[in-house]
Amino acid sequence: MLAVLNDIVAVLVLAAFPAALAAAAMSDFLTMKISNRLSLALAAAFFILAPLVGLPLVDFGLSLGAALIVFAVCFTLFAMNVMGGGDAKLLTAAALWFGLTSSLLTFLVLVAYIGGGVTLLFLLLRARADLVMSIGIPLPVSVVGTKKIPYGIAIALGGLLAFGESPVAILALKAF
Residues spanned by the domain of 126 = 2-174
Number of domains into which the chain is organized: 1
The answer to pTM > 0.85 is yes
**From residue 165, how far is each of 1, 86, 133, 158 by CA, in Å?**
29, 24, 40, 12
pLDDT, tens digit (0-9, with 9 covering 90-100), for 94-111: 999 999 999 999 999 999
What DSSP designation does 163 have?
G
Write out residues in the chain with pLDDT < 70, as ranges.
1-3, 176
pLDDT, tens digit (0-9, with 9 covering 90-100), for 37-59: 999 999 999 998 898 889 999 99
> What is the structure's pLDDT at 35?
95
